[in-house]
Amino acid sequence: MPPSSADLLRWYDRHRRILPWRAAPGRTADPYHVWLSEIMLQQTTVAAVIPYYHRFLDLFPTIGDLARAETDRVMAAWAGLGYYARARNLHACARVVAAAGGFPATLDGLLALPGVGAYTAAAIGAIAFGLPVVPVDGNVERVTARLFALTDPLPAARRTLARHAATLNDSQPARARPSDFAQALFDLGAGICTPRNPACALCPWQGECAGLRQGIAAALPAKAPRAARPVRHGAHFRATDAAGQILLRRRPASGLLGGMLELPGTEWRAEPWAESEALAHAPLPGPWRQAGRVTHVFTHFTLHVDVYAARIGRFPNSAAQAGGLVFAARDLDGLALPSLMRKCLAATPPDRPTGVP
């Protein structure tokens, strides 16, 4: 038997979070707002997303505005949120939706959109279109594992958890309010059934929770031990000319940080780069000096970057021929630069003399 959806909805009516993308009680959410927030919230916290969400809506008030925007403008607005494939898919999806005249109102239609997977389709479907589905994110997985005392470890247990989660709305009160029910589950996971120290005494489902009854709730969901994150090494080069301009280049459109700007550099590989070996990849003749080391953690590896800096009088034509792009330092804030590159720029003292002519 699933726990009482009426109890959860009563709790939600009293304690629902106020979030900028949420509709007021009794109002229908705007699918553009729900979709935008859900894409931004993948792998990112609510607190980190809120300023980006507001900035996007200021720049692109409607999905048509976003669809018509230049890719660089979208990537620059996204810069800092990470996982840049999401921004590319976001832009592609906006174009598809704008061309179709609006979001599809079915799960299959939503699933066919670029960058929209099973969870996001269910979230938009439930919240914006009132489809009776349970979106299963990490919060809902955790609540489900505890409610049903499911002890098999993630990620292998994901299907079992999804199957049990899908039963949570098997009752009339949940079916009558799919949007609120989905958001109530999110709020329960985010505020009460938290990863550490769940506040079971405040939980509307405490009487029906098998994990609490068995005293194992806080240890769930179980997780298989993770393999150690591999380490990679790279070197990037900051060249500044007499006018204070910086040499950048664009990464290939696909792959990690695809389409973003970066300081020229080496590939990222398992072995560290000796200085002489790294300098063979400098975009210009030196002399270069080491200006710092940056560590950045990606989902699948940790990257250590040696940053080299040089000042030169003016950039030679060969730099542009090799794909170099020159930007004034004061314009860097508005560019599509990933956090890693902003760290590399900050690691380079901009005004220390280098002895470079």
Does position 192 interact with ligand SF4 (CB under 6 A)? The reply is yes
Task: Sort 274 into a burial class: Cβ within 10 Å, 0-12 / 13-18 / 19+.
Answer: exposed
Q: Which is nearer to ligand SF4, 143 or 337 (CB)?
A: 143
Q: Which is nearer to ligand SF4, 69 or 209 (CB)?
A: 209
Task: Sort 297 into a burial class: Cβ within 10 Å, 0-12 / 13-18 / 19+.
Answer: exposed
Residue type, position 141, single letter:
E
Under a CB-based contact definition with an 8 Å cutoff, are residues 134 and 185 in contact?
Answer: yes
Q: Which of residues 82, 130, 135, 198 is near ligand SF4 by CB under 6 A?
A: 198
Q: Which is nearer to ligand SF4, 89 or 206 (CB)?
A: 206
CA distance 259 to 322: 16
Q: How many CB atoms lie within 10 A of CB 72?
A: 15
Which residues lie across from 310 on neighbouring strands? 239
Closest approach of Cβ 167 to ligand SF4, in Å?
14
Q: Which of residues 23-42 bind ligand SF4 (CB under 6 A)?
A: none
| Backbone angles phi and psi of 324, in degrees to 5 | -70, 145
Q: How many residues bind ligand SF4 (CB under 6 A)?
A: 14
Q: Which range touches ligand SF4 (CB under 6 A), out of 5-13, 46-54, 175-183, 208-216?
A: 208-216
141 catalytic? Reply is: no
Does position 164 interact with ligand SF4 (CB under 6 A)? The reply is no
Under a CB-based contact definition with an 8 Å cutoff, are residues 282 and 306 in contact?
Answer: no
Segment 156-165 long-range contacts (CB within 8 Å, at least 24 positions apart): 156/224, 157/221, 157/222, 161/136, 161/221, 162/136, 165/134, 165/136, 165/140, 165/141
Under a CB-based contact definition with an 8 Å cutoff, are residues 59 and 84 in contact?
Answer: no
Does position 200 interact with ligand SF4 (CB under 6 A)? The reply is yes
Closest approach of Cβ 210 to ligand SF4, in Å?
8
Does position 203 interact with ligand SF4 (CB under 6 A)? The reply is yes
Q: Which is nearer to ligand SF4, 143 or 235 (CB)?
A: 143
Does position 212 interact with ligand SF4 (CB under 6 A)? The reply is yes
Q: Which of residues 126, 217, 291, 307 is near ligand SF4 by CB under 6 A?
A: 217
Does position 147 interact with ligand SF4 (CB under 6 A)? The reply is yes
Closest approach of Cβ 44 to ligand SF4, in Å?
23
Q: Which of residues 106-145 bind ligand SF4 (CB under 6 A)?
A: 143
Does position 186 interact with ligand SF4 (CB under 6 A)? The reply is no
Closest approach of Cβ 128 to ligand SF4, in Å?
26
Query: Residues 38, 70, 208, 262: which is the catalytic one?
Result: 38
Does position 211 interact with ligand SF4 (CB under 6 A)? The reply is yes
Q: Which is nearer to ligand SF4, 217 or 344 (CB)?
A: 217
CA distance 166 to 107: 15
DSSP state of 223: B
Encoded tokens for 146 = 């505890």
Task: Sort 252 into a burial class: Cβ within 10 Å, 0-12 / 13-18 / 19+.
Answer: exposed
Catalytic amino acids? Answer: 38
Please report, as ranges, the residues that interact with ligand SF4 according to CB under 6 A: 143, 146-147, 192-193, 198, 200, 203, 205-206, 209, 211-212, 217
